[in-house]
Amino acid sequence: MDLAGRLVLPDPTKAVLFDMDGVLLDSLGLDFAIVNMLLARHAGTGATVSMDLIRSLFALHPPEFWSQILLRVAEETGDTGVAGHHAAILAEYEEARRGAVFETLPGIPEILKAARERGLLLAVVSNNAAADVDTILERAGIRGAFDLVAGNDHGNLAQKPAPDTYLFAAQTLGVSPGACAVIEDSLIGAEAGRHAGCHTVAVSTGGHGFETLERSGFAHAVYSGFSVNRLSLVPGEVTKKRILTPNDFVSHMVEHVAWRLGAGIDLQWNNNSWAALGRLLGERVLETGGPLRPAAAIGMIDDGSAEVSLVPGDKGLALETAGGLSLGWFLSLRAEQAVDGVPMTRLLDGMAKGLGAGIHVRVCGMEDPHHTWEAVFRGAGVALAKARMPKTESLSAPAPAERAGTTGKPEPRGTGDLEVVEVSRLKTRVRRRTAESVVEAALDFTCPCGASLTATTGPSVRVTGLSILLDILARELGARLEVEFTASRLSSSHVAAEDTGLVLGRALKEMVLWRMEETGVNGAGSSVDTPADLDTQAFRAAVSVEGRKSVKFVPFSGDYQALRERFLIGHTVCGDLFTEDLDDFLEGLCNGLSAGLVVHAARDAAPEEGWRELFAGLGRALREALSENPARRGVPPGVKATMA
C-alpha cells in the first residue's frame, strides 16, 4: 500500500509502529543545542560535542545517552570528574525535552492521515518513558493520531535493540508482528523491529545516515525522508533535469537513460526500492511515446561497453557477460556510491517490467565498474529511443528550414596546421598541412554514396587498399567521401593512414558541431539496430562523440593478445594494406573526431572479411552519431554537456 505517495508498505499491514525521535519529530537539532548548553553549564565552556556524536547516540535510552556523552567529554578534556554531573544533567535534560515543542518531520502529517484513512492502527514505540512521550507528542499536536504509546517503562521489557517493546505494542494492539510495520531511524531500532518479525523501514532523518542503515541489513526498505515521490519526462527538453534519489550513482544512471531518450526529467525519489523506481521510469517512457519495437544498441564510455537489446513481450532483465568476465564478480564490485551492482540490476529489472518488455544486457568492456554501468544505461537509453521512434531518414534529406549563409567558407574553427574550408549541414571540407604532407577530406551528403582516395606518396608507401575500406564506410554512412593525400617524400604507410584518419575525423567533427548548433545531433551511434544484428555481426562498432578520445577492441573469446595476432597485427588486406596501419587510421579518426570507438569482436573472422565488416559497422555507427536530433539542438553530445 502507498501512503500519500511517501511511504510504501506491504498490503497485509494492519498496524504501523513509529519510533518518535528522528522519525516523527525533528528532535536531533534541539538535542544538539540542549546537550551543549548543559555541558557548558555543568562541565565548563570547553566541553562541547559534535552533531555527528549526538546522531550516533541519538537512539539510546537517556541515561545511557548521557553516560556516553560524559565519557567522551572526559576522554577529550581529561576531566574525570565530569561523570559526577550525570544525575543533575539528566534531570535538566529530561525537563527541557518535556517543555520543548518539536516540529513534525516533513511528510509525517500526510502519512498519519493516509494511514488513518486506510484503517491502520498506529503506535509510538520509544526508548523514553511513556509519560514523557505523551507530553512531547501533545505539544507537537499529534498525540491524538495514535492508539498506543509504548515507552521504556512498561514492566520488565528489555530496551531496543531487543524486540520486546515492539512485540509488546503488537500484542497490545491485537495484531501479529508480521502484520506490523516498524519505522525507525537508528540501527538499534531497526534491529529491534527486524528481530520482532515486523516489516522494518529505516529513515535517515535521525540517528544514522542512509548508507549505514542500508548496509546494516536490518531494514526491508531505507528512506532518505518522506518527501513525495514524483517522476516526469519531458521529450525535447534534454537540458532540463532535476534528479534527487538517495544514491547519487543511481541518479546518474537514470540521467543517462533520460539523456539518450532526448528528454528532460524531474525526479524526486525517497527510498532504495530501486525496482519500484525502475518500473515507474518504464511506465513514464511508455507514456511519452508509441508502441515499442525490438531494438538494440551498444553503450560505451571510455573503457566500458555493453550491448543492450529490448524485446517487447519478454519479461524482466537478462544479464550476461562476454570475454571471460565473471558476472558474479562484476556484480559484487562497488561503483562509486553503490556498494555493489544490486541497485542497478533492480533498476533495470523494474524498467523492463514497467515497459512490458525484456531488457537483455551483455557486459563487454570492463576496467572500471562505474564506466561499465554507465555504458549499460547509455545503451538502454539508446535502445529505448530506437524502440519508440521510426527508423532514421536519409541524412541527405533537406532540413525543414535550411538556414541561409551556412555553406561556403566558414569562420575558422581549426588552429595551427588545420583549416576548415567548408562546413554546412550536408557538406564539410577540411585541409591539414604539415612539413610532411597535405591531406584534404571532404564529406558530402548530396552526392551518390562512395569514396575516392587520391594518394601521392613515395613508391614504398602502399595505402591504395584503404580506398576500398573507405568506400565501404561511405556507403554505410550514406555520403560521398573524398580524400586527397600528398606527400611524395613520405616513406611511412602508418603515418599516411593515421593522418588520413585524423583529417577525416575532423571533417566529421565539424559536421557534428554544425548540426549540434543548428539542428541537434545524436552524437553517439553503433552498428546494431535490432537484436538480430547482435546475432549476425561478428565485429560490432560503437562511437561516442563527446571529447573522450580512445579506441578499444573487446574480444569475446581469447585475450587481447590473441586478437592482435590473428587480426590486428601482421596481416595484409585489400591487396596492399597493412592491418597495423588500420589500427593507426582508427586512432587518427578518433583523435580528429574527439570520439571514443569500441569494437566488439564477437567471433573469429579472417582479417580480409573482418576488416570489411568492421568498416561497414563503423559507417553505420557514424551515420547514427551524425543523425539529427531536435531534442539536442544547441547541446554538446556528452551527458555533462561538454565536448573538448
Distance CA 439, CA 503 (A): 7
Q: Is the dihedral of CA 242, 270, 247, 523 positive or negative?
A: negative
588 contacts 494 by C-beta, under 8 angstroms = no
Residue 644 domain-assigned? Answer: no
Please give the pLDDT value at position 150.
94
Question: Where does 392-540 have alpha helices with state H?
Answer: 466-477, 493-518, 531-536
Residue 76 domain-assigned? Answer: yes
**294 and 384 belong to one structural domain:** yes
End residue of a domain, out of 369, 388, 407:
388
Please give the pLDDT value at position 394.
44
- Is the pLDDT assigned to residue 86 strictly greater than 70? yes
Contacts of 155 (CB under 8 A, 6+ apart): none
| 96-121 burial: b if 16+ Cβ within 10 Å, else e | bbbebebebbebbbbbbebbeeeebb
**56 and 148 belong to one structural domain:** no
Contacts of 401 (CB under 8 A, 6+ apart): none
**Nearest Cα to Cα of residue 376 among 335, 339, 315:** 335
565: cell is: 595476432
pLDDT per residue as tens digits for the range 218-270: 999 999 999 999 999 998 888 889 999 999 999 999 999 999 998 999 999 99
pLDDT per residue as tens digits for the range 550-592: 999 999 988 899 999 999 999 999 998 999 999 999 999 999 9
> What average pLDDT does the structure give for the chain?
89
**12 and 67 belong to one structural domain:** no
Q: For residue 161, what are the domain limits?
A: 2-25+102-223
**325 and 438 belong to one structural domain:** no
Beta pairing class for 241-244 and 199-203: unpaired
Please give the pLDDT value at position 642.
53
Give the count of beta carbons closer than 10 Å to the beta carbon of residue 320: 12
**614 and 485 belong to one structural domain:** no
**262 and 374 belong to one structural domain:** yes
Is the pLDDT higher at 459 or at 473?
473
End residue of a domain, out of 223, 240, 258:
223
Over residues 355-363, the mean pLDDT reads 96
Torsion, Cα 172 176 182 188, to 10 degrees, reads 80
Indicate the SS3 state at residue 573.
strand
**243 and 324 belong to one structural domain:** yes
Q: What is the DSSP string of 32-90?
A: HHHHHHHHHHHH-TT----HHHHHHHTTS-HHHHHHHHHHHHHHHH--GGGGGGHHHHH
- Is the pLDDT assigned to residue 397 strictly greater than 70? no
Is the pLDDT higher at 51 or at 270?
270
Over residues 73-89, the mean pLDDT reads 79
**252 and 332 belong to one structural domain:** yes
Please give the pLDDT value at position 640.
52
Sheet holding 550-555, edge to edge: 524-526, 539-545, 595-601, 550-555
- Is the pLDDT assigned to residue 489 strictly greater than 80? no
pLDDT per residue as tens digits for the range 409-468: 444 454 457 899 999 999 999 999 887 789 999 999 999 999 999 888 776 777 789 999
Total of domains in the chain: 5
Measured CA distances, 141 to 128, 138, 145, 152, 336 (Å):
18, 5, 9, 22, 42
**445 and 298 belong to one structural domain:** no
Residues of the chain with pLDDT > 70, as a percent, come to 93
Distance CA 586, CA 545 (A): 14
| 420-426-431 Cα angle (round to 5) | 20
**529 and 587 belong to one structural domain:** yes
Over residues 32-54, the mean pLDDT reads 78
Burial class (CB in 10 A: 0-12, 13-18, 19+), 137: buried
Indicate the SS3 state at residue 170.
helix
Please give the pLDDT value at position 154.
77
Over residues 129-144, the mean pLDDT reads 92
Q: What is the DSSP letter of 489?
A: T
Measured CA distances, 473 to 110, 470, 612, 623, 641 (Å):
60, 5, 9, 10, 28
Please give the pLDDT value at position 389.
64
End residue of a domain, out of 49, 83, 99:
99
Please give the pLDDT value at position 45.
58
Least confident of 298-312, 397-411, 521-535: 397-411
